[in-house]
Amino acid sequence: MSPTIVMHAEVALAIARFVAAPDDVVRYLRALPPSWMNATLMALLSLLETAFPPWVWPVPWVDGLGPEAANTISTALPAFSAVRLTSGMDQCPLALLPETAVALDIVGTWNEVPCDRISYAVQDLSAALGPRPDAIVELSLQLLGLYDDLASQCRILASCVNVRCAQLTWLPEGVESSLDPLVETLGSWPRLAAVHLIVPCAESYAPNALCAWLASSTVSSVALDDMRFTPSAAEVLVDALFASATLARLALRHTPVVASALFRPARRWPPSLQSLKLALAVDECMPMFAVSQLRTAKLQSVNISSNGLVYNAEVICTLLEIPTLTLLALRPMVVHCSLPQVSLHRLRHLDLAGAAFNSAAFASIVALLHSTSELETLGLRRTELTTGQFASLVDAVGLWMGRCGTHLDLSATSLGAAAPRGWAKAASAALPALFRSRVALLASALPSMGKCQTVSFDLRENRLPLDAAKALVTALRHSQNVVLDLADTGRFAVHMPEVEAHARQLGVRVVASSFRGQVFAAPGTPISYHCTRDHPDILLDL
């Protein structure tokens, strides 16, 4: 290969590293002159065209792509700044380059579900971190067993000096004796920007070490799980969090006392805080005075969910008064009034999963879709829509996606034909025709969407019968830049091989995997679609 061609390939590769979305990388590589495509670029394009793109770019998930992709990943390795491993470095099938960084999840805890109790001895931890612990930039680690030789483990972890994102999960045994030394180890990571601590600690624990670390760190994202402090300890911790000049994102899950301490009367919200996420347990609540306090914060993102509490329109209307707000996720909720259009028009992302609307409330959502120039994504997962509401939604979605919309979540919204248990026989017989008419309505609208940009629909868990799933895939044949996620479970998943065969026969692109489900795309559509709750990013929920 001539020096000029080599230079062209190197320049093309350097530019590719600055492209964020997988579909944009595919478009860029396809547009290059064939003579510029060296082995690295061809391997990268092959991965993006044959595997699930978000598992490839910008950081390839080596274990998710499987051993059959190892050789292709090795060839494409110069294109990646980092790789993701969900086994130890000692299990990595690749010969990593000196400049390759690593996102390491030693025991597979990215979905916050504790794995089996497999205890890592000190020497195993050292092997899992590998001979170059300074290459690790993300670390997810479950701290198991009885924490034998804790000092040695802390020394090993302290050698990971370039960690920028960390998730540490404790099991109940040994928390009190190990938490402080391991929190102090965080001080050995000067680049640490985001930390997620899952700590089922007792109320007797005093968070002195945690507060001391917060006072000296420059961390910008903090997520705390299962921390049940005394009220006085929670006040001290919140004071330390709010004293941070760098804290931009805060997430609390099942930390009721800490959540209550956030809303102490006259508390001043830090101007640096941009994102707040609260996941409340069944016995937790968020009174209106607390919601009202958020109006004084400079938040851009508010995400509040509860397993038991149902929010009303007063809550969402109050939150919409936050002048800087661009993302609102509130679930579940009951809305029985029209929502303020002026405030809604500031939003770029709106998630009302599990909501129940009356006609006036849903009409305000439809009106938003008809007129917004900002809203990019709308989440209506597990909402119960009447046939009239669904028809008005589909009518508005085409205009919205032609303007600014990119993603609509209609998962688990009963598009399928299965009748709920206990329905009368006559009603059960009428149900398939009703839901098939909804599928037909959506299918007929798909060809008019995606003209300017790739748009996606999450239709998972809708119990679609075979003919309904085929109808949607058939509509993709006549569509452009449209992606559908049709993954389902149980007896409805049995149809998927036949649906995939139907798609291939029509030239519709199929992306299927055991982890992700079934994703279908209109012919020629590069796929960058992914669903955040399934993506193997340990810090995505911060």
Give the 3-state secondary structure of residue 516: coil
With respect to residue 511, please indicate whether it lies within any of the assigned structural domains. yes
CB contact burial 359-392 (16+ within 10 A = b; e otherwise):
eebbebbbbbbeebeebbbbbbbbbebeeebbeb
With respect to residue 506, please indicate whether it lies within any of the assigned structural domains. yes
| Domain ranges, residue 473 | 410-542
Contact status, residue 461 vs residue 414, Cβ threshold 8 Å = no
Q: Quick one: pLDDT at residue 195?
A: 95
Which residues does 497 contact at the CB level (< 8 Å), separation at least 6? none
CB contact burial 177-210 (16+ within 10 A = b; e otherwise):
ebbbebbebbeebeebbbbbbbbbbeeebebebb
- Expressed in angstroms, the distance from the first to the final Cα of the chain is 46
Q: Quick one: pLDDT at residue 527?
A: 63
Residues 103 and 82: their CA atoms lie apart, in Å, by 7
Which residues does 24 contact at the CB level (< 8 Å), separation at least 6? 526, 528
With respect to residue 460, please indicate whether it lies within any of the assigned structural domains. yes
With respect to residue 268, please indicate whether it lies within any of the assigned structural domains. no
With respect to residue 436, please indicate whether it lies within any of the assigned structural domains. yes
When divided into structural domains, the chain yields a total of 1
Contact status, residue 516 vs residue 52, Cβ threshold 8 Å = yes
Segment holding 484, helix H or strand E: strand 482-485
Segment holding 152, helix H or strand E: helix 150-158
| C-alpha separations of 415 from 411, 431, 499 in Å | 9, 10, 17
Mean pLDDT by 10 residues, the chain (542 residues): 68 89 86 92 93 88 90 95 88 90 69 38 72 92 64 88 91 73 90 91 80 93 89 92 95 88 86 92 67 88 80 81 93 81 92 89 94 96 89 94 93 63 42 72 89 87 89 94 86 83 92 63 71 36 40
With respect to residue 481, please indicate whether it lies within any of the assigned structural domains. yes
| C-alpha separations of 213 from 195, 234, 244, 505 in Å | 12, 16, 11, 59
Residues 35 and 8: their CA atoms lie apart, in Å, by 9
pTM of this structure: 0.85
Question: How far is residue 60 CA from its own chain's centroid?
Answer: 16
Q: How confident is the model over 243-295, as pLDDT tens digits?
A: 999 999 999 998 888 888 898 887 889 999 999 999 887 556 666 777 888 88
Residue 40: both structure tokens together: 């690295």
Contact status, residue 182 vs residue 154, Cβ threshold 8 Å = yes
Residue 26: both structure tokens together: 């595919």
Which segments of 86-220 are extended strands (E)? 101-105, 136-143, 165-170, 194-198
Whose CA is closest to 59, among 40, 46, 44?
44
Segment holding 44, helix H or strand E: helix 39-50
Residues 262 and 273: their CA atoms lie apart, in Å, by 12
Which residues does 333 contact at the CB level (< 8 Å), separation at least 6? 310, 311, 312, 313, 315, 316, 352, 354, 355, 356
